[in-house]
Amino acid sequence: MDFNLTEQQQMFKNSVKKFAEQELTPLVDTMDKQNNFPHEIRPKLAAMNLYGIPFDPKYGGAGADHASLALALEEFAKILAAMAIHLQLQHVVNDRFNKLATEAQKKQWMPAICEAKKVGCFGFTEPDTGSNPKMIKTVAKEVKDGYIINGAKRFITNAPWADVMCVFAKLEGDISLFFVETNRKGFSTGPKMDKLGLRGTDLSDVFFEDVHVPKDHLMGGKGGKFDALKDAMTIGKLCLSAQCVGLMQASLEEAIKYSMHRMHFDEPIFNLQAIHWLLAEMASRLEAARWLTYRAAFLKDQGQDTIKDMAITKLFVTSTAVDVCRWGMQVHGAYGISKEYKIERLFRDAKMYELLEGTSEIQRELIVKRLPR
C-alpha cells in the first residue's frame, strides 16, 4: 500500500489550488448570491485542461487519472462547489462520448468540450422518476432516417445554455442513450430553478417534442443502457464525494479560524472543550471521508470500481459532509447563519450532495443488495 500522492498528482493539486483561489474566489457572489453562471471562466478552465483531466490527449484530454480529477474537484469545492459541479458534468458527458461514441463523434465533441467551445448536459431524471431510472417515460421511436424523441427531463444542470445533451430514453421498451444537439427543432428548456445550494449551476427542465436525431446519435447501439447509466453514476458519485471532501476541509478551516478569533469568557472559544469536541469530530470524519474517496478514485483508475464501492463512498462522504458543515456552523454560533461568513454557504451546498446521483436511501439499497450472503 502507498497512501502518498505521486509527485505529479501533488503538483497538479497545488496548481489547481492556486487557480481556484485566484480565479474562483471572485465568482462566489455571482454564483451564490446572484444565481448566475459566470461564463467568462470557461476559457480559463479549458486553458488549464480541467475539462479533460482523465481523457486521452488525442481527444483533447490531459491524460491524467481519476485521482487527479478527484483532487481538482476537491480544490474547487473548497472555494466554490457550484463550479465543481459544472466541471463534473462536463466529465460525465465526455465520459459517455469516450465510452460509447464513434471515433468521428469523439473527435467532433470531446475536444470541443475540453476546449470550452461546447457545453454538455446529461439527463435521466424526469418529473415522475429520479432515483429509479427504469421508470423513465421519455421515449424514442425509430423512423426511416433516425429517431424521434418525446418526453421531459428534470433538474438538468447546464441545460439552459448547453450545446449537446446525453439523454436516456426508452426505445422498443429498453433504455437507450442518445446525444442530441440542443438547437434541434422541438428541443426546449424551462425556466431556471432557484434552489437551496450549489446556486449558479443553472438547473432547468428539458422538453422533447418530436425531436428528430439521425441514426448515428444512438450511442452504443439499441437498449441495455441501464448499465451505461450506472457507469455514469459511479463516476458521478466519485466526483460528488471529492467535492464533499473539499467542502469539509473548508468547513474545518473556517471553524478553526473563527474559533481562534472569537472571544468568549475572556479567551478564544478555541480553548473551550465544547469547541474542541466539535473540531475533533469534524477532523476525524473528514479524514475518514477523504481516504474513502481517494480509495474510490484508485479503484476507478484500476478498473476495479464497483457499484457497491461507489455507493458506500457516496453515502458515507455526503452524509458526513452534512454533519461536518453543520458542526462548522455550530462553532460559528449565531454568526454561522449570517451572509457575512462563508460557512452558511458550505452548509447549504453540503445538503445538495446528499440528493444528487441517487439519494442516501437509494445508496443504502444498492449496498445491501450487494452485501455477501
Name which of 170, 167, 100, 166 is nearest 134 in CA terms. 170
Site string for another protein, 248-267 (x = CB under 8 A): ---------------xxxx-
Structure letter (DSSP) for residue 126: B
Sorted by sequence, the CB contacts under 8 Å of residue 292 that are 6+ apart come out as 241, 312, 313, 316, 317
Q: Is 208 in the site for another protein (CB under 8 A)?
A: no
Q: Which is nearer to another protein, 71 or 325 (CB)?
A: 325
Sequence-separated contacts (24+) of 212-215 with Cβ below 8 Å: 212/143, 212/146, 212/147, 212/148, 212/149, 212/184, 212/185, 212/186, 213/146, 213/147, 213/149, 213/178, 213/179, 213/180, 213/184, 214/145, 214/146, 215/145, 215/146, 215/147
Which one of 36-44, 169-177, 213-221, 348-356 is the stretch in contact with another protein (CB under 8 A)? 348-356
Name residues contacting another protein, limited to 185-204 (CB under 8 A).
Answer: 193-197
Binds another protein (CB under 8 A): choice among 10, 34, 132, 284: 132
**Three cell numbers written together for 28:** 462566489
Q: By CB under 8 A, tell whether 329 contacts another protein.
A: yes
Residue 357 known to be catalytic? yes
Please tell me whether residue 330 binds another protein under the rule CB under 8 A: yes
Q: Which stretch binds another protein (CB under 8 A): 53-61, 123-131, 211-219, 239-247?
A: 123-131
The answer to whether residues 215 and 145 touch, using CB atoms and an 8 Å cutoff, is yes
Comparison of 305 and 354: residue with beta carbon closer to another protein: 354
Distance CA 303, CA 340 (A): 44
CB 171 within 8 A of CB 147: yes
The pattern of x and - marking residues 26 through 65 that bind another protein according to CB under 8 A reads -------x--------------------------------
Residue 198 in contact with residue 85, Cβ under 8 Å?
yes
Distance CA 34, CA 36 (A): 5
Which of 7, 267, 357, 365 is catalytic? The answer is 357
| In the complex, minimum distance from the CB of residue 203 to another protein, in angstroms, rounded to a whole number | 9
- Does residue 146 touch another protein according to CB under 8 A? no
Report which of 273, 256, 364, 350 is spatially closest to residue 311, judged by C-alpha positions. Answer: 364
> Whole-number minimum distance, CB 264 to another protein, in Å?
4
Q: Which is nearer to another protein, 114 or 352 (CB)?
A: 352
Q: Which residue in 17, 107, 295, 351 binds another protein (CB under 8 A)?
A: 351
What is the spatial distance between Cα 327 and Cα 280, in angstroms, rounded to a whole number? Answer: 10
- Least distance from another protein to the Cβ atom of residue 339, Å: 5
Taking contact as CB under 8 A, which single stretch among the options 64-72, 84-92, 165-173, 337-345 is the one that binds another protein? 337-345
Indicate the length of the chain as a whole number: 373
Report d(CA 242, CA 296) in Å as an integer: 10
CA dist., res. 231 & res. 174, Å (int): 17
The residue type of 170 is: K
* Contact status: 317 vs another protein (CB under 8 A): no
Q: How many CB atoms lie within 10 A of CB 158?
A: 23
**Per CB under 8 A, 231 contacts another protein:** no
Specify the residue, 283 or 362, whose C-beta has the smaller distance to another protein.
Answer: 362
Q: Which of 65, 126, 309, 354 binds another protein (CB under 8 A)?
A: 354
Report the nearest approach of another protein to the CB of residue 202 (Å): 14
Instruction: Return the number of the residue (75 or 349) whose C-beta is nearest another protein.
Output: 349
Q: Treating both helix axes as pointing N-terminal to C-terminal, what angle do 307-332 and 226-261 enclose, rounded to 10 degrees?
A: 20
The residues annotated as belonging to the active site are 357
Point out which residues bind another protein (CB under 8 A): 33, 125, 129-132, 135, 154-155, 193-197, 263-266, 272-275, 322, 326, 329-330, 333-334, 336-340, 344-345, 347-348, 351-352, 354-356, 359-361, 364
